[in-house]
Structure 1
Amino acid sequence: MIIIDEFQNLIEEDKNILSVFQSIVDLILKNSKVKLILIGSSVSMITSHVLSYKSPLYGRRTGSMEVKPVSFFDLKKFFPQFSIEQLIEIYGFADGIPFYLVKIDKDFWSWLEEELNKKDSFLKDEVDFIMKYEFEDVSTYKLILEAIAFGKTKVNEIKDYIKVERTDISPYLKNLAEVKMIKRIVPITESEKSRFGRYYLSDNFLKFWFRYIYPNLSLIEEGVFDVNTIKQDYNTYLGEYSKKFVSSF
């Protein structure tokens, strides 16, 4: 079995790598028992370059799987020593995303303070790292995500927040939904195209980052940010995503 993680990095370096892998699959692996597993975190790149009809690898996959976050109840397996209250604090930050869960090696607030004080903290550029594979110009997308993080869920509210009047932000919203960074929810009694649709961030890590990290990035980089700024607002923040938590039960 051959496993290649973050396959989009190879594509980014050399688009011809897909043709190379096509030859490997057709000439070497086809009649062998070796399994090739390609893993990627960029939805758009994996979809367009690996799974699409135009891809050199099209028609060669034997299966595909979307790895989803673990449930709230699974957090106890990561942190058996923590109380329910502590798990809720962690869930508000990391959701059920293992990549972030495994980074927390002590109680949440002690870990967060230590992480924010690191010069090379992953929190400073994590979202930029995610978005660079999905979009060419991330500035408008980041403003939209920040607006939604602060409760601006209607299209007009988002436009007012990012201070654009005539710009059509529908393509931006569509692209964000396609890479599963946001989701659009309409009332059960309305059609999918209803004007009553609302936009929400797809996971708690994005909510946390755009609410607390992005607006305070300068202070964090200067090493003068006080984690109590987050702590004082955190119960309010948790209350805003409580519907997702309740749905876990």
Structure 2
Amino acid sequence: MEFQGRARDLALLTEQLRVVTEGDGSSRGQAVTVMGRRRVGKSRLVQEFCDRSGAPYVVFQASRGRNPVAERADFTAALAQSSLPGAESVAGLQPQDWNQALRSLALAVPEQTPSIAVIDEVPWLVEQDQEFEGALQTVWDRHLSARPVLLLLVGSDMSVMEALQTYGRPFFGRAARMAVQPLHLADVQAMTGLDAAEAVDALLITGGFPEIVQSWRPGMSRGQFLRASTANPLSPLLAAGELSLLGEFPEASHSRAVLEAVGSGETTFGAIAARAGGAGALPSGTLSPILTALQAKRILAADLPLAAKPDSKNKRYRIADPYLRFWLALLNRAIPLIERGRGDVALKRIERSWPSWRGRAVGPLIRESLLRLLPDDEWPDVEAVGGWWNRQNKPEIDLVGADREPVARQVHFVGSVKWLEAAPFGRHEYEALVRDVLAVPGAEPGTPLVAVSRAGVVEGLPLTAHWGPEDLVRAWAAG
């Protein structure tokens, strides 16, 4: 299948290879940790980069729970079968530990011409063998860093990948860090051939996960895509969510229950504890570390009200990526229906919930998009875009632009989002915004008012600025 998107990621990797080729770095070899959520397309990206580079390379894919002896044997076998010039010299080697295995990599890479070495799913190697990190550091310092090699260490467990470079760990300070995100809004629009508003829908449904976006045939409407996906129990839209969750969270685990609680719409600590606990609420001592771990893995996000007054008590949790949020809220319970041939019933339920679900889900995407457009000439001091709410959610403000977060020195604008197909942002929404603006600590009677609307804005409203779907796509077009 043709590789699409990822222009910025490919450019970053190409630049790292240029540093190796021209010897511009502090050492001849360069190392990069490449991290990102499971199924986000890291392995496909790295393979495409290797194929395009023209350099000799090796790609080794680790296996979870593997016996370390067998894993090292597979590593040297991958070296022997690679395009590296010294591949034949390591054929038949049987390393006794990871120090010897990684030294065989140093033997295989050329001394003068650039090459690429990829070790995929590094967290599984760390899990298998406590000596792996130390061996990697030793061989890098003594052998690999002196060779013109680009070493890519790839992994899906974000917490483990980030821990590899924390102070006190063996590989600290030796690698650049690259985070691979899902495909962004402009890429999704290009791949689906949709207009800007429909592309936003496509991103909220697919989350930008490549295998799902590629199953969206160009020009398909949202309804057509959902109809086709709910008619096929093997469709990527259905399968990717379960595969992603099962890779890390067994169905009976507390972590899975917490994710399902948040995915169903619970946002506060107490509500999540009550929903995830079943017969009784999860104790705080159980829930707190789960929430912390899920945030470290980038699966959950926690938001605080943005204003000129601190408010740490009104923290809200949400599923970080739109696809998993969509899957947990609207697909998870529909799968049994689809498997017994009643995708039509599942589709009706999804369509019934779609407007209200989308109204909440589009908020984080809008705020992130505005952060890519700002600061600009009109808003030179806006460095943070968030929302504001109190414990009763009365009022609840969609957009707050400020100079910093979570506690602003100055609130630069307050705004509202209306994301409906045929109803523009009108006088009613404007008057509600005027009524509520002073509830935001730091806002004043003259604070500028803004809006984001799918269907435009009624003429004559005294808004300082407004944005629509095309502006959101434009925010990502350069990425």
Alignment TM class, shorter chain as reference: 0.7 to 0.9
What residue is the counterpart of 1:113 in the other structure?
230
SS of the equivalent of 2:178 reads coil
Is residue 167 from structure 1 mapped to residue 283 from structure 2 by the alignment?
yes
Is residue 240 from structure 1 mapped to residue 366 from structure 2 by the alignment?
no
- Supply the distance in 2 between the matched residues of 1:45 and 1:151 (Cα, whole angstroms): 28
* Structure 1 stretches lacking a partner, 5+ long: none
What residue is the counterpart of 1:92 in the other structure?
204
How far does the alpha carbon of each residue in 1:38-89 deviate from its partner, in whole angstroms, 9 at most, with x for none? 11111122123x223453323322x11222334323322222x333454233
Instruction: Please identify which structure carries the higher helix content.
Output: 1
Choose which of 26, 39, 64 in structure 1 pairs with 2:177: 64
How far does the alpha carbon of each residue in 1:144-168 deviate from its partner, in whole angstroms, 9 at most, with x for none? 1222222211111112212333611
Is residue 76 from structure 1 mapped to residue 195 from structure 2 by the alignment?
no
Cα displacement (A) at 1:243: 1.6
Instruction: Tell me the amino acid that sits aligned with residue 162 of structure 2.
Output: T
What residue is the counterpart of 2:302 in the other structure?
184
Cα displacement (A) at 1:128: 1.6
Instruction: Please identify which structure carries the higher strand content.
Output: 2
Is residue 124 from structure 1 mapped to residue 237 from structure 2 by the alignment?
no
What residue is the counterpart of 1:41 in the other structure?
156
* Structure 2 stretches lacking a partner, 5+ long: 1-115, 370-471, 473-479
Q: 1:145-224 counterparts in 2 under 5 A? A: 145-163=259-277, 164-165=280-281, 167-168=283-284, 169-189=287-307, 190-191=309-310, 194-220=312-338, 224=342
4-13 vs 37-46, which moves further: 4-13
What percent of counterpart residues are identical?
22
Q: Aligned-pair RMSD on alpha carbons?
A: 3.0
- Supply the distance in 2 between the matched residues of 1:29 and 1:200 (Cα, whole angstroms): 42
SS of the equivalent of 1:39 reads strand
1:153/1:112 CA distance change after superposition, 3 Å: same
* TM-score, normalization by structure 1: 0.80
The answer to whether the 8 A contact 1:124-1:213 is kept is no
The answer to whether the 8 A contact 1:186-1:196 is kept is yes
1:223/1:52 CA distance change after superposition, 3 Å: farther
Number of aligned positions between the proteins? 241
The answer to whether the 8 A contact 2:185-2:203 is kept is yes
Instruction: Tell me the amino acid that sits aligned with residue 167 of structure 1.
Output: P
